[in-house]
A and B are shown apart, each in its own frame.
Chain A
Amino acid sequence: MSQIQPLDSVNVPAPTVEVARLRGPERERAGRRRLRVPGWLRLLLGNPKSRGGIIVLSAIIILAVIAPWIAHANPNDFSLIDSRQSPSFHHLFGTTDQGSDIFSQVMWGARSSLIIGAAAALLATVLATTLGILAAYSGGVVDDVINLITSVFLVIPTIPLLIVVSSYMHSRSGVTMVLILGLTLWGFEARILRGQALALRNRDFILSAKVAGEGTWRIIFSEFVPNMISRIAAAFVLVFYIAILTDAGLEFLGLGDMSHASWGVTMYWAQVNSSFLQGEWWPFLFPGLALALTVAALVFILAGVDEVSNPRLRKDRKRGVIRSLFVGGRGARAALDAKDPA
């Protein structure tokens, strides 16, 4: 007659994702001939929030890819006769004060935003994962040092820092933007991933790997990472949309890579030329909506990932979509007490 203690399940990754991945291919082979959909994708598509997000994001990606074919006008066209035109059949989104077609700018801009965002997110996630897990696993001085660095990074405000760094750069290109974004945005995820790694640190499989003599880096990448993959993926999505926002933001201020078509750049010119103060809403509304839509899609995906890995946050369908979107929230994960119904 022992008291059954509730499991300590803070930040423990959902094994369902891993199991699904294993079962997926086998299930396909067993039955009919179908497209091999990886288990995690199937899970995410099953959840309405992430499904919506994935659909919207895919649409945006497709538009970005086919940009050359649908946007015939060169985004950097200079044509005074066409300038400052409101949306029409010929120029779907109108034109800028320089006569460039805004539709093309938005389509081509999608490429730049997505690519820079993804690359920066990749860099930041790699940094966060490596440093976070290293800190958790090594403990002691290494942990303290990494924590200190992370804390300092978190306390120095990112936007002003990026503004200053960007102002020093002689030339701003996509690559440099990716670098500075990646190197500044890794902090908060490093903290979260460290927390999760801490929970895993004393698990048997880690301890046995350690005893077997596996090197630190080996353990980090082949033991920790596979079991934290859902959290790492979520971290990536989070940094992705923050990177997109920050990149667009910097361009909006005139401090990003201003030479190519992008959403932020279009909006910068709209602001600086005071065109919108003269009633021209199209230069800022369309890129802005595109930006907001992309970010919203990513946030929805994130919410879906949250729900899939944390069943407590799932709500019954009666609630509205937007409302149930932010049910959980990543920051507020308290320990789950599986209170027995008795």
Chain B
Amino acid sequence: MRWFIRRLGFYVFAIWVAITLNFLLPRLMPGDPLGGLMQRLTPSQIQGNPGIINTFKIMLGGTQEPMWKAYPIYLRNIFTGNLGISTSNYPSHVSEVIGRTLPYSIFLVGVGFILAFILGIGVGMVAAWRRGGIVDNFVMPSLLALAAFPAFFTSLVLVYFVGLKLGWFPLQHAYDTDVSPGFNWAFLSSAFRHAELPIIVIVIVFAGGWALNMRTIMINTIEEDYVGMAKAKGLHDRRVMTRYAARNAILPPLNGFAAQFASAVGGLVFIEFVFSYPGAGWTLQQAALGADYPLTQGLLLVFAVCVIVANFIMDLLNFVLDPRVRTS
């Protein structure tokens, strides 16, 4: 129980750091923060967005005030959900933009990551159990070789060869242009179709790492006495592999899952960019290029929170799966 509270406390602290970082960054740039931001905008942007100065004021919590006065205002804004107004999507609120795009990303990462995890863990488990077998000698190294390539490169290659040349998958965006979002079959099936290739990329990029991790830990777990004892007891081979070896071996990778999540978010940005997939990652990149600071800050915050939540879920899972953690 106490451990729980400590973890929770840490996560809250981390979120606070993310929020504060967002606050400090524009101010750390040399010169007046508002002036610095205004410098980045082109005249047409200013003219096209009449309320832009106001937006920045909201975002910065009032520019003329010293930092310690602006900070509480800023905090209040954050906690009331007011992340500002997106300059590139004027006059939409940042929260609105994020609300529109985040679900697509979650869908992508959720499905992709889980698939990659299952595939990776499965391959790693079998590769370690039957060393020198087909899985160990062929499937594993292939997965690894694929995972060695940077995410965006793999995406590009796949898009080019499988998408363009072979025409098997749609190449861009989240859904066909003639379909409008909603809970109807046409939209959902189209959305699913468009997500296939990105999901495949995610699986390729991440499964290899999982498999390697699992295999290494399995190899060490197999050496453990209780596995030898299970075999000595005359249990079926498969049962020893799953219930005794894998069940124990899976705990460290599961913890690694949480750590990997941060890098998964990074990879997501690249993949969405290549596919022009309108998720949170692609939006971040576009916003950064377009100097839409409220949006970039809001997205950074959301990403950080997502990673933290994922970590927390992993901690919970660990608690449930490992009785040793429970009694300590």
Tell whether A and B belong to one assembly.
yes
CB 8 Å contact bits of B255-276 with A (1 = contact, 0 = none): 0100101110111011001100
A40 within 8 A of B: no
**With an 8 A cutoff between CB atoms, is A329 at the interface?**
yes
Complex alpha-carbon distance, A319 and B132, angstroms = 8
Show the binding face of A for B, using Cβ within 8 Å.
148, 151-152, 154-161, 163-170, 245, 248-249, 252-255, 267, 271, 276-277, 279, 281, 284-285, 288, 291-292, 295-296, 299, 319-320, 322-323, 325-329, 331-332, 334, 337, 339
Extra contacts, 4 of them, besides A151-B14, A328-B216, A339-B223 (Cβ < 8 A), are A152-B17, A156-B304, A163-B296, A323-B137
Partner of A170, one of B21, B36, B296: B36
Q: Does A168 contact B216, Cβ atoms closer than 8 Å?
A: no
Indicate if B212 sits at the interface (CB-CB under 8 A): yes
Interface of B, helix, strand, loop or mixed by DSSP: helix
Given A157-B304, A328-B216, A167 and B288 contact (CB-CB distance below 8 Å)? yes
**Closest A residue by C-beta to B211:** A326
Q: Can you identify 18 A-B contacts, CB atoms within 8 angstroms? A: A156-B307, A157-B304, A160-B284, A160-B303, A161-B300, A164-B22, A164-B288, A164-B300, A165-B25, A249-B266, A267-B156, A271-B274, A276-B164, A279-B164, A322-B141, A325-B144, A331-B256, A332-B220
Q: In the assembled complex, which residues on chain A have CB atoms less than 8 Å from the CB atom of B300?
A: 160-161, 163-164
Contact A332 B213, CB 8 Å, known A154-B262, A156-B304: yes
Cβ of A168 and Cβ of B25 under 8 Å apart?
Answer: yes
Residue of B nearest to A187 (CB): B262
Q: Which of A158, A163, A326, A332 meets B217, CB within 8 Å?
A: A332
- A155 x B266 contact (CB < 8 A): no
B60: Cβ under 8 A from any A Cβ = no
| Given A156-B262, A157-B265, A292-B216 contact (CB < 8 Å) | no
Contact B303 A157 (CB under 8 A): yes
* A254 and B263 within 8 A (CB): no
A320: which B residues are within 8 A, CB to CB?
137, 141
- Give Cα A164 to B252, complex, Å: 32
* B273 and A152 contact, CB distance less than 8 A: no
Whether B269 contacts A163 by the Cβ 8 Å rule is yes
User: Is B277 an interface position by the 8 A CB rule?
Assistant: no
| A291 in contact with B288 (CB, 8 Å) | no
Chain B residues in the interface with A (C-beta under 8 A):
10-11, 13-14, 17-18, 21-22, 25-26, 29, 36, 39-40, 136-137, 140-141, 144-145, 148-150, 152-153, 156-157, 159-160, 164, 171, 212-213, 216-217, 220, 223, 252, 256, 259, 261-263, 265-267, 269-270, 273-274, 284-285, 287-289, 291, 293, 296-297, 299-300, 303-304, 307-308, 311
Nearest-CB residue, chain A, relative to B307: A157
CA gap between A307 and B140 in the complex, in Å: 19
A112 to B308 Cα, complex, angstroms: 34
Which of A152, A163, A339 is within 8 Å of B284, CB to CB? A163
**A296 and B148: CB pair below 8 A?**
yes
Interface contact A253-B25, CB-CB below 8 Å: no
A-side contacts of B144, CB under 8 Å: 322, 325-326
Q: How far apart are B154's CB and chain A's nearest CB, in angstroms? A: 9
Partner of B266, one of A148, A157, A288, A329: A157
The residue of chain A having its C-beta at the shortest distance from the C-beta of B150 within the complex is A245
Kindly report which residue of chain A lies nearest to residue B306, judged by CB atoms. A157
> How far is B26's CA from A35's CA once the two chains are assembled, in angstroms?
54
A159 and B265 contacting across the interface, CB-CB below 8 Å: yes
Whether the pair B164, A252 counts as a contact (CB closer than 8 A) is no
In the complex, the chain A residue whose C-beta lies closest to that of B171 is A277
- Residue of B149, B150, B274, B303 contacting most chain A CB atoms (<10 Å): B150
Contact partners of B223 in chain A: CB under 8 A = 337, 339
With A249-B270, A292-B148 as known contacts, state yes or no: A158 contacts B29, CB within 8 Å.
Answer: no
Contact B289 A158 (CB under 8 A): no
| B269 and A156 contact, CB distance less than 8 A | no
Which residues from chain A contact B296 at a C-beta distance below 8 Å?
A: 163-164, 167
Looking at B39, B140, B300, which has the most chain A CB atoms within 10 Å of its CB? B300
Tell whether A284 pairs with B262 under 8 Å between CB atoms, given A148-B13, A156-B17, A323-B141: no
